[in-house]
């Protein structure tokens, strides 16, 4: 009797909330139950990382002092309770967000979802992404350590050499100020301002995305940009609340958990990390200063001597344009270059080739800068690195296109493609050796890396040539049977992990959160990972009506995260 009364009471409270908050009528786009996959929700990972950055960043303002950047940073890290948690996770969330941005952008490029009616979503996304890069630059300059000082110095020098004395003076005075006592106040203000603009652009990006929803899966359209939208009268649409909401909560908590857990491990293994990825300020004197990894690619471009202009005032203008102006413009132009109906990467060889060259080139330039910092890049060196991915993309897309169009691939085609490939990889270093360019080993290895990466991407395209057609989902006759027996047990274990880490966190908060900073960070990550996995379990339960039982790995892969994290915690931390 009593239990029944409580039940009715709870239901009345819930009904009141549900009705008054209008949860039923949330105007977000609804998607079918089988759309809740990682690659469709990469943007949610970016957004979740951004929210963690905003939250932890706002808390860091309490103790950051621009007049003493390094001292206050170290004080947050080593003296404030849970300060190490906030600051290291802020740093790693930035790394994580930028990687997620790259994944999100290139997934959408290769799947061609920027087509009508999503061109504006794409353009706003590109703008948001590049502003996020700029925000990250200001952010890591805030620390006031050696990397930050070099960043400000080199940024100043490059601006002046690229833009000339007059314009350069204005740009530098806006970015860093001319009075050094004021520099960190300015960088701080710009960091927050840029992050605020990133947020506004994100709201626009997200709002426009919600107008059209995610692009229909290629399994449903057969790689076509038609229909443009998921029809909102399909029977298998999941209500935004609670299904989509619970899924987004799972993505958010798992992202936060992963970021904080990795930040905890980074604190534990700080000595093993290279300076660019250390969670602490770098004060060592014998280390070659480098830009952060996401700007490392510009480093090699600024060293390309064959792009240096013979101008008194602006010798590096061309490098500046190639490194920083051209990439966003090229990306923004993509929806206008490619207006075909087909979204298959092989049917859009120009854009796919561009995507391969940009993604592979970014990776090559980054690694190349790491292994050969500061050494000038001649034209032969550049060709040795750049030619393999370009010829791989051309030869691969040419052959795949013939196959996809059903035209025969004979010995002639194979021979010319192989010739192009071998010539593109071997000719530049051979010419270099013939004309006496020394030390091309690193460049040759970078070229092979480019060949390998481009081949992997082409392999993915080839594998996706034919996809299993999918239609509207069917309702499961026995929803309980679509949930495997082990899932409830796994969830119970995760409740255990969550309770354990929560109790341990309370204990640390009472005892000594400064001395136990590593443990505090790792346990917070563990707690959030367990919460995220449990949230995903709720999603699985809600989706049981429509999603059939999958294979073991498919059902438990999300739940591996908290258990792996628990194992790592037990091995390394406790």
Partner 1 sequence: MPVKVRRRDFLKMVGAGGVAATLLGIAPPIIRYIVPPVLRGEMPRSQLVWEDCSPVKASELEPNTHYLFYYPLVDTINVVLKLVTPSGKPIRIPEMRVPTQMDPAYEPPAWLDAELSEEEIKRLENFSKGSFYTYPPGVGPDGNIVAYNLICQHLGCPYPALRYYPPGTPIATNPPEIGANGGVLHCLCHGSAYDPSRGAIVLTPPTVRPQPAVKLEWDPNTDYLYAVDMVGPTINGKVCNTCGKTVGDKVVVAVNREPEKKTC
| Cα separation, 214 vs 221, whole angstroms | 13
170 part of the interface to partner 1, by CB under 8 A:
yes
Residues 323-382 binding partner 1 (CB under 8 A) are 373-376
Q: What is the dihedral of CA 532, 537, 539, 542, to 10 degrees?
A: -160
Name which of 37, 55, 56 is nearest 45 in CA terms: 37
Name which of 306, 465, 496 is nearest 396 in CA terms: 465
289 part of the interface to partner 1, by CB under 8 A:
yes
Task: For the chain, give the number of residues.
Answer: 574
405 part of the interface to partner 1, by CB under 8 A:
no
First to last CA, the chain: 47
**Buried-exposed string 550-572: b where 16+ CB fall within 10 A, e elsewhere:** eeeeebbebbebbbebbebbeee
| Cα separation, 169 vs 150, whole angstroms | 18
68 part of the interface to partner 1, by CB under 8 A:
no
436 part of the interface to partner 1, by CB under 8 A:
no
Residue from 10, 38, 174, 211 binding partner 1 (CB under 8 A): 174
- Binding segment for partner 1 (CB under 8 A), chosen from 7-15, 152-160, 194-202, 552-560, is 152-160
Q: How far is the CB of 497 from partner 1 (least distance, A)?
A: 46
Q: How far is the CB of 140 from partner 1 (least distance, A)?
A: 17
SS3 call for 470: coil
153 part of the interface to partner 1, by CB under 8 A:
yes
Q: How far is the CB of 325 from partner 1 (least distance, A)?
A: 20
Nearer to partner 1, 120 or 169 (CB): 169
148 part of the interface to partner 1, by CB under 8 A:
no
Nearer to partner 1, 180 or 412 (CB): 180
- Binding segment for partner 1 (CB under 8 A), chosen from 271-279, 286-294, 319-327, 467-475, is 286-294
Element (H, E) at 345: none
Residues 514-573 binding partner 1 (CB under 8 A) are none
233 part of the interface to partner 1, by CB under 8 A:
no
Q: Collect all residues with Cβ–Cβ distance below 8 Å to 551 and sequence separation of at least 6.
A: none
Element (H, E) at 71: helix 69-78
24 part of the interface to partner 1, by CB under 8 A:
no
172 part of the interface to partner 1, by CB under 8 A:
yes
178 part of the interface to partner 1, by CB under 8 A:
yes
Query: Exposed (0-12), middle (13-18) or buried (19+): which is 460, by Cβ within 10 Å?
Result: exposed
Task: Tell me the residue ranges of DSSP E strands in 366-465.
Answer: none
What is the x/- site pattern for partner 1, positions 246-285, by CB under 8 A? ---------------------------------------x
Binding site residues, partner 1, CB under 8 A: 149-150, 153-154, 156-158, 160, 165, 168-170, 172-174, 177-182, 285-289, 373-376
């Amino acid at each position: 009797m009593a239990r029944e009364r409580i039940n009715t009471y709870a239901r009345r409270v819930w009904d009141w909330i549900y009705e008054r908050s209008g949860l039923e009528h949330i105007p977000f786009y609804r998607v079918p139950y089988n759309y809740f996959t990682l690659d469709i929700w990469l943007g949610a990972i970016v957004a979740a990382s951004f929210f963690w950055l905003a939250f932890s960043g706002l808390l860091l303002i309490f103790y950051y002092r621009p007049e003493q950047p390094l001292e206050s940073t170290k004080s947050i890290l080593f003296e404030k309770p849970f300060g190490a948690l906030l600051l290291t996770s802020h740093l790693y969330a930035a790394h994580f967000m930028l990687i997620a941005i790259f994944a999100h952008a290139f997934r959408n490029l290769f799947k061609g979802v920027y087509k009508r009616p999503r061109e504006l979503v794409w353009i706003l996304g590109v703008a948001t992404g590049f502003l996020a890069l700029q925000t990250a630059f200001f952010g890591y300059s805030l620390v006031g350590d050696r990397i930050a000082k070099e960043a400000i110095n080199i940024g100043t020098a490059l601006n002046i050499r690229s833009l000339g004395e007059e314009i350069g003076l204005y740009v530098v005075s806006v970015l860093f100020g001319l009075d050094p006592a004021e520099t960190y106040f300015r960088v701080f203000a710009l960091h927050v301002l840029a992050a605020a603009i990133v947020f506004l652009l994100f709201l626009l990006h997200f709002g426009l995305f919600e107008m059209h929803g995610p692009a229909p899966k290629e399994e449903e359209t057969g790689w076509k940009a038609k229909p443009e939208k998921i029809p909102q009268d399909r029977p298998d649409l999941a209500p935004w609340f609670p299904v989509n909401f619970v899924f987004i909560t799972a993505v958010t908590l798992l992202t936060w958990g992963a970021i904080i857990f990795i930040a905890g491990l980074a604190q534990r293994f700080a000595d093993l990390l290279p300076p660019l990825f250390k969670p602490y300020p770098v004060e060592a004197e014998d280390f070659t200063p480098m830009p952060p990894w996401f700007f490392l690619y510009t480093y090699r471009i600024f060293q390309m001597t064959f792009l240096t202009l013979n101008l008194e005032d602006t010798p590096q203008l061309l490098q500046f344009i190639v490194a920083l102006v051209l990439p966003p413009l090229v990306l923004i132009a993509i929806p206008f270059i490619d207006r075909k109906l087909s979204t298959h990467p092989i049917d859009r060889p120009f854009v796919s080739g561009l995507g391969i060259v940009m993604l592979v080139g970014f990776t090559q330039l980054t690694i190349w800068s790491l292994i050969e910092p500061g050494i000038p890049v001649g034209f032969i060196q550049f060709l040795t690195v750049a030619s393999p991915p370009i010829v791989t993309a051309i030869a691969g897309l040419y052959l795949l296109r013939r196959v996809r169009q059903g035209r025969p691939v004979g010995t002639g085609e194979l021979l010319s493609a192989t010739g192009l490939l071998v010539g593109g990889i071997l000719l530049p270093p051979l010419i270099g050796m013939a004309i006496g360019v020394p030390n091309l080993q690193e460049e040759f290895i970078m070229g092979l890396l480019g060949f390998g990466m481009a081949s992997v991407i082409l392999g993915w395209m080839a594998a996706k040539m034919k996809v299993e057609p999918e239609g509207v989902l069917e309702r499961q006759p026995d929803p309980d049977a679509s949930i495997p027996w082990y899932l409830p047990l796994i969830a119970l274990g995760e409740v255990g992990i969550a309770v354990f880490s929560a109790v341990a966190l309370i204990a640390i908060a009472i005892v000594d959160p400064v001395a136990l900073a590593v443990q505090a960070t790792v346990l917070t990550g563990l707690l959030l990972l367990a919460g995220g996995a449990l949230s995903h379990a709720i999603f699985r339960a809600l989706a049981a009506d429509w999603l059939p039982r999958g294979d073991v790995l498919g059902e438990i892969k999300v739940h591996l995260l908290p258990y792996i994290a628990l194992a790592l915690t037990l091995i390394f931390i406790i």
